[in-house]
Amino acid sequence: RYEHVKSTAQYPHGEKDSYRKMCRFQSGYLHRHPLLADLDFYWRIEPDVEYYCDMNYDPFVFMQQNGLKYGWNIAMPEFMATIPTLWNTTMQFVTEHPELLASDSLWPWLLDEHGNYNGCHFWSNFEIVDLSFYRSAAYQTFFDYLDRAGGFFYERWGDAPVHSIAAALFLNASQVHYFDDIGYFHPSVLTCPRDARTKGTCVCDLNKSFVQDGICTIRFLEVKQSIVNPNATKLARLGPVHYTEPIIHSVLPAINTI
């Protein structure tokens, strides 16, 4: 079966054992590596990436002082062909473990206006994480459940949607931070701060940056504001937000969307 999946896959890296193993490792085993044992935070930095802005603060200290658990920089929809059963598997997990959900979670960020899974995920090639999140019983229980389902190999579940769904499930909205002040490039996507020209601390080309206006970024800002600061007088980048692949319907009870 596995060989058939690889030989017929019509998506990037679909034929590769190594890519699947990397995604599974990043999802469930990186934070268990002995080299990270004495660390509280980690910042994932990959080959061939570029950083374009001067930073006048320590992001680890910033996260610690503000009670943040997960920091991201780029968000976009996942290629649905790689995760056809991930959402249904997550729904089964939530049905079995409702006690693990955070009280003020970002769960609505994962849903479109019709309550369908929108595929939004944080690109995990940039993530700054309080490792207590990945080491938590909630996250480990979730990963083990997904691992037993087999989707890392029989499909091509990536660590990015796994991390993102977990953050939306188990963290409060106030614990997830968008590092929109960091100019960053990962082949083939660039994000550049909106005030890069006026502040003069970045060398990225704002004209080539588009993800700030992407549906997943806008949706995140909307949802987080509705939870953390619902009475704000200045709205956060409100839509309209349109999704092109509302494929899987959510059956999660008692979760309100905005």
The residues annotated as belonging to the active site are 127
Return all residues near 17 (Cβ < 8 A) that are at least 6 apart.
6
Write down the H helix ranges in 97-249: 131-134, 137-149, 151-154, 159-170, 196-199, 215-228
Phi, psi of 117 (to 5 degrees): -65, 130
- The pair of three-digit structure tokens given for residue 5, joined into one six-digit string: 């999946």
* Separation CA 98–CA 91 (nearest Å): 10
Q: Are 128 and 43 in contact (CB under 8 A)?
A: yes
- Percent helix, strand, coil in the chain, to 5, is 45, 15, 45
* Separation CA 19–CA 24 (nearest Å): 9
